[in-house]
Amino acid sequence: MYEKLQPVAEDPILALMARYRCDTHPNKLDLGIGVYKDEQGKTPIMQAVSSAERLLLAHETSKSYIGPAGSEGFNRLMAQLVFGGDHTVIREQRVVSAQTPGGCGALRIGAELLASCSPTGRIWVSDPTWANHRPLLAGAGLEIREYPYYDAEQRTIRFSEMIDTLNRAEAGDIVLLHGCCHNPTGADLEPAQWRALAELIERRGLMPFVDIAYQGLGEGLDEDAYGVRYLADYLPEMMVATSCSKNFGLYRERTGALFLIGRTASQTERAGGQLFSRIRSHYSMPPAHGGAVVETILDDPRLNALWMSELNAMRERIRYLRHQLVDRLEHAGVAGDFRHIRHQRGMFSFLGIAREQVVALRKQYSIYLVDSGRFNLAGLSNRSVDYFVDALAQTVGT
């Protein structure tokens, strides 16, 4: 039976991670997958996470099933983190939350539910978007369309073209938006743009699906949630997927959440029932450990404060590295305009170099970037930035 299966194209991000692991070059540099690394090139376990794990080890009393929705405490605290504690949708009981296996689990299960109720079965994604969005959403049965987002020449958002395109979307179409730290461009919508988008979405009868996988890594936990909170205030219905991979460093624990917002409390409850039944028929229920760690942190003022200070330090270090890199590229006279990297947000930006140059960096210097030229700022360090700048100067010219 398996002989009928065709070989698949490799995943552009995971394939790089595998190649990097096999590379024996002493100065190899992984700027591919979106994982935070410290000055020593390690991805540390956050202290708040280790402390929470110790508490769990000492006090956890059962490994019994947690149910399709996951932990009630995790869901409540995560909804407060994303929407803010006193948001209308929480007060009006118009949000149903599900703990999910990572942000991917949230995206997939949310897309499955939307595919079953959208009259057009169509979703609009930004051009470009994260490489796994397409397989996740198309795999759920949604037809994918693109709206213009990033101008690679000008290094700015093509906002008026985005609006023009979405103005032609049909009622019931879904629009996928990046809540903050746009992946792969690092170019985020400004508050006034979110407000204009909310007005368009309401006028055209569209359904927003927000992916906010990097909350806290752009400007701050509240600042990064501006768009998602505004849409939730302005619009009657939406779907939101979030992840604890980056802001809690829980990558391999597969911890995320999906929030469904409905028009009324009773409609939301009914839609929630459909959501949980879908979860039951897919993976039955989420893994518990990562969610228990997050719940322990968010529920304990001392651990919460520790986590926030660690998250702030990660964000500030990424911002510092953005400035360091551009300063050194300019100082070395590397050909090209890199100024956009300074003010973009989150882990990623495009370097703006050709694919052949990305391949040359990999082959000659063991520096790993995604073929599109997306690179992970959080993979750099004070030590490696000079190696990166020298390699770029040799590859791109001065």
- Which residues are annotated as catalytic? 130, 211, 246
Give min distance, CB of 357 to ligand LMR, in A.
Answer: 20
Give min distance, CB of 228 to ligand LMR, in A.
Answer: 18
Of residues 158 and 374, the one with the C-beta less far from ligand LMR: 374
- Note whether 174 and 114 are within 8 A (CB): yes
Give min distance, CB of 36 to ligand LMR, in A.
Answer: 11
Binding-site ranges for ligand LMR (CB under 6 A):
13, 33-34, 130, 132, 183
Amino acid at 88: T
E strands of 42-112, at which residues? Answer: 95-100
Tally Cβ neighbours within 10 Å of residue 384. 20
Of residues 32 and 227, the one with the C-beta less far from ligand LMR: 32
Of residues 127 and 300, the one with the C-beta less far from ligand LMR: 127
Intra-chain end-to-end CA distance of the chain, in Å: 55
Amino acid at 256: G
Tokens of 277: 């039944």
Give min distance, CB of 211 to ligand LMR, in A.
Answer: 10
Amino acid at 119: P
Cα angle for residues 133, 161, 371 (degrees, 5° grid): 40
CA dihedral 18, 20, 23, 28 (to 10 degrees): -170
Strands 256-261 and 238-243: antiparallel
Give min distance, CB of 178 to ligand LMR, in A.
Answer: 11
**Alpha helices (H) in 126-225, listed in sequence order:** 133-139, 159-166, 191-204, 221-224
Of residues 34 and 291, the one with the C-beta less far from ligand LMR: 34
Helices 289-298, 47-59: crossing angle, 10 deg rounding: 110
Of residues 34 and 286, the one with the C-beta less far from ligand LMR: 34
- What is the C-alpha separation between 125 and 74, in angstroms, rounded? 29
